[in-house]
Amino acid sequence: MEKINNYGLAAYWNLYKDDADTTKGDIIELPACSTPIDFAYRLNVDMGNQMIGTMINDTLVGVDY
Mean pLDDT of successive 10-residue stretches along the chain, which has 65 residues: 50 59 85 86 90 86 81
Assess if residue 46 is contained within a domain: yes
What pLDDT score does 23 carry?
80
Q: Are 43 and 52 in contact (CB under 8 A)?
A: no
- The type of residue at 26 is D
Contacts with 4 (C-beta within 8 Å, 6 or more apart), sequence order: 11, 12
Q: How many domains does the structure of the chain reveal?
A: 1
What pLDDT score does 45 carry?
92
Distances (CA, A) of 9 to 39, 42, 59: 25, 24, 38
What pLDDT score does 14 carry?
47
Containing structural domain, residue 55: 2-60
Assess if residue 65 is contained within a domain: no
